[in-house]
Amino acid sequence: MTLRDPLHWVPVRYKLALMFLSVCMLAFGVGGTLVSRSAEGALEGEILRRMEFQSRAYATALDGHLKMLVSRSEDFASDGFIRDHAAKLQAAVTDGEAQQLRAELRRHLLVNKLPLVEDFTDLSILALDGRVLLAAREAPDEREAAELSEAASRGAARCSEWLPARAQGGLPRVAIATPLLDRDDGTRIGSLVTWVHPGVWIVGALRANELGEASAEGQVDLLLIDREGARLAVHSSLTEGDGPSHDSDLVRSGFGLDLLPPEEARETSGAHGGTDRHLFSRSFEVATNGWSVRVDRRAESLMTAVAGLQSRFLGVGMILAIGASLLLFFPMRFLARPLLQLASAARRIQGGDFSARVEVDSTDEIGVLGESFNAMAKAIEERTERLEESAAELRHGQRELRAERDRLNAVIASMRDGLVVLDASGKPVLWNRAAGPLLGQLEVGALRMQSHHACERRKLDEDSCLRCLLDVRSEPRSCVMEIAGGVYEVHSTRLSQEDGGRAGRVLVSRDLTDRIAQDERQIHQERLAVLGEVAAVVAHELNNPLAAISMYNQMLATDLGGDRELSESVDVIQRNVETCKRTIRELLDYASDVTPEITPVSIADVLEDVSIFLRPLRERSGVELETDCPQEPILVSGDETQIRQVFVNLVVNAIQAMGPSGGRIEVSARRDGEHVVVDVSDDGAGVPQGARDAIFRPFFTTKRRGEGTGLGLSTSRRIAEMYGGGLELISTGPTGTTFRVRLRARQEQPA
């Protein structure tokens, strides 16, 4: 059955106005009543929740502060000085001794204990039977002392109930009774009573936790209720956030603290937390001493915001309904037909007929809407045509891009060099088959990938090579690394981020294993061929004369006996002979790749040996040798004989460069980061211009035939590079020449 409109005979323009009037009356009448009551209930609930939270926060803050005070009281009770004097006062002592003990104990409490805690006002010592042995300032009465001693006898520090003020207008009191235990057997020998200032305790706890409410939200009444029902009323000025501080004179005077007996307190019940409808109340327990904290607020100031809300809703609703009806009555006559035309044209456009238009016969908003609708329909028709053309072009471009992609994939797959494209997080997104070894290392974290040569950027951790290559922000880099048993040259370049490109890296790897192995074999064979001939000639020509020199030198040493001066010369001859033998042996070792003996070598000791070793040669040539080494030891790792040979070669070359006229040689050593730098400078004629690029080639020499072999500088550079450094010509000219030796410094291990 079809439901018929009961007001079908009423025109739409009147029907809409009547409906709007009814909706306004219903919304602002019934709805206003519900909203006002809901707002009142929500406000009450929010107030009670905030008061619940406030009482819990106050109780938590007071409980935490009270725990701290109990802990400090227990710390005072553990003082050996207090326990010893309390035990002695209860022992059989004379009146004079007891008086002296009390004076010492009182002074200890006043000077060393009370100033430590601002909340404590007094300290008392009680005997086992409840007698007052000593009070720092004012002794409690016998009844209070007995109750506090009874509380302390239960084995732990306990907080008393509220105690009345001693005098009219005085402060309410609360005390913490703590047992005093014997230092030897741990038995109880008495009690320590710490008297707490309630105002300092309460305000200090609230300020320390940044608690407090602004007075604009309504007056807050705070009550602390003990286990017997006695209540301490705290004035609202002490709970406000901008109230006085805990150490102010106003708080210490007891302002705003009133102790109420149990019979004057109201019992809490009802929806608001109290019997009074105009009072909001919430309470929470203080865990340490079993007290409770209650927060009260007056309802009048808090509920002002919703008072009269219902009547205002109804009045405003009636006014708005009447005014809206008058304003909408006449314009409604001219809305129905144009809107129906717009709806019909919109349905035609929805069906795909973009030629649909509406007739415009007015210049008001409806007419403007009709013109806008026609313009929109025309724009949709034109854009639909352009979109169809663009779609055809995109399909054509997509086919071309697919063909380009296939060609690019074919080129990448046919490359002999490995190619890996990484995104910003270092994850491979594109690679070819030749990049298999590099890709495998990236997937396992490059645990077995390391630099093939010494790298200045390499750190102590194992994955520094990986981070150096994959850093998205770093500049393009190229390095040779050992990957999975092979040697690869890897070029790392960052992806261009221009025109919105994504960040990443492109890695290109080339397998150099076979080429490096072939180069090394060729170099090694050439080196063996050259040094084999040299070693054979040197061994044949020098071994026999050296053997004769060594034999006659030993005979000379035997004949000299105790002649110290000549014996030193004999020792120098013998060391020179041994050096020559070692040189011959090193030439043979060079051809056979014998591993040197690696030990810690002191640069200062090596330079001193070189100076002593070459002293006869220097004195004969009139050359002065000066060494400059820092006081702290500089150590390198290497073969001491080989390192000494480097500096012997450099100093001998410097002596020969200065000729018979003599000169000065300066050798300075210093630590430079991870290396040791040694500069050898002379004031000779310098290296000729045409020979500076060839002085480090084997068998190249600028000396006359018979004075040099051309192996000194090449051998020295090889030794320096062997130990992580190098040898280079720093400067040369008519005023002198400087060679620089760099050796990797020894990293001392911690003891």
Please indicate, yes or no, whether residues 659 and 553 belong to a single structural domain of this protein. Answer: no
Q: What is the mean pLDDT of residues 2-13?
A: 62
Checking if the pLDDT of 267 tops 50, the result is no
Say if 150 falls within a structural domain.
yes
Task: Report in angstroms the alpha-carbon separations of 181 from 73, 156, 722.
Answer: 13, 11, 75
Checking if the pLDDT of 217 tops 50, the result is no
Question: 443 near 526, Cβ under 8 Å?
Answer: no
SS3 162: coil
Question: 713 near 727, Cβ under 8 Å?
Answer: yes
| Angle between helical axes of 640-658 and 564-592 (0-180°, round to 10) | 110
Q: What are residue 153's phi and psi, to 5 degrees?
A: -70, -10
Read off the CATH number of the domain in which 452 is found: 3.30.450.20
Sheet holding 279-285, edge to edge: 257-260, 231-234, 220-225, 292-298, 279-285
Say if 245 falls within a structural domain.
yes
**Per-residue model confidence (pLDDT) at position 179:** 92
**In 330-364, alpha helices (H):** 336-350
Please indicate, yes or no, whether residues 633 and 521 belong to a single structural domain of this protein. Answer: no
Burial class (CB in 10 A: 0-12, 13-18, 19+), 643: buried
Please indicate, yes or no, whether residues 503 and 517 belong to a single structural domain of this protein. Answer: no
Please indicate, yes or no, whether residues 82 and 210 belong to a single structural domain of this protein. Answer: yes
**Per-residue model confidence (pLDDT) at position 676:** 92
**HSE-up (13 A, CA, CB side) for residue 405:** 7
State how far Cα 481 lies from the chain centre.
Answer: 33
Please indicate, yes or no, whether residues 144 and 279 belong to a single structural domain of this protein. Answer: yes
**Per-residue model confidence (pLDDT) at position 25:** 65
Say if 319 falls within a structural domain.
no
pLDDT of 504-544, one tens digit each? 788 888 877 777 777 766 775 676 566 666 666 666 677 77
Read off the CATH number of the domain in which 660 is found: 3.30.565.10
Please indicate, yes or no, whether residues 232 and 116 belong to a single structural domain of this protein. Answer: yes
Residue that is last in its domain, among 511, 535, 559: 511
Please give the residue that has the higher pLDDT: either 673 or 47: 673
What is the rounded CA–CA span in Å between residue 141 and residue 122?
14
Structure tokens that stand for 308 in this block: 């009269």
Checking if the pLDDT of 616 tops 50, the result is yes
Say if 547 falls within a structural domain.
yes
Confidence category of residue 500, pLDDT binned at 50, 70, 90: low
How many domains would you assign to the chain?
4
**Per-residue model confidence (pLDDT) at position 750:** 40
pLDDT of 324-369, one tens digit each? 666 665 556 566 667 777 888 888 888 878 788 888 777 777 778 8
Confidence category of residue 10, pLDDT binned at 50, 70, 90: low
Residue that is last in its domain, among 302, 325, 354: 302
What is the rounded CA–CA span in Å between residue 134 and residue 123?
8
Q: 188-196 and 220-225: which strand pairing?
A: unpaired
Instruction: Say which range, 42-56, 380-394, 497-511, has the weakest mean pLDDT.
Output: 497-511
The pTM for the full model equals 0.40
pLDDT of 618-649, one tens digit each? 888 888 888 888 888 889 988 888 888 888 88
% of the chain residues with pLDDT over 70: 73
pLDDT of 690-699, one tens digit each? 777 777 776 6
Say if 383 falls within a structural domain.
no
SS3 12: helix
**Per-residue model confidence (pLDDT) at position 55:** 80
Question: 202 near 224, Cβ under 8 Å?
Answer: yes
Say if 387 falls within a structural domain.
no
Say if 137 falls within a structural domain.
yes
CA torsion 73-76-82-84 (nearest 10°) is 100
Instruction: Say which range, 27-36, 149-158, 346-355, 639-648, has the weakest mean pLDDT.
Output: 27-36
Q: Which of 107-116, 227-236, 253-262 has the highest mean pLDDT?
A: 107-116
Instruction: Say which range, 277-291, 410-424, 520-534, 574-588, has the weakest mean pLDDT.
Output: 520-534
Checking if the pLDDT of 597 tops 90, the result is no
Checking if the pLDDT of 273 tops 60, the result is no
Please indicate, yes or no, whether residues 479 and 614 belong to a single structural domain of this protein. Answer: no
Q: Which residues form the domain of 543?
A: 512-594
Please indicate, yes or no, whether residues 667 and 747 belong to a single structural domain of this protein. Answer: yes
Nearest C-alpha neighbor of 60 from the set 377, 233, 397, 287: 287
Residue that is last in its domain, among 490, 511, 532: 511
Please indicate, yes or no, whether residues 715 and 671 belong to a single structural domain of this protein. Answer: yes
Please indicate, yes or no, whether residues 610 and 707 belong to a single structural domain of this protein. Answer: yes
Say if 350 falls within a structural domain.
no
What is the rounded CA–CA span in Å between residue 583 and residue 597?
15
**Per-residue model confidence (pLDDT) at position 216:** 41
Please indicate, yes or no, whether residues 507 and 518 belong to a single structural domain of this protein. Answer: no
Please indicate, yes or no, whether residues 590 and 617 belong to a single structural domain of this protein. Answer: no
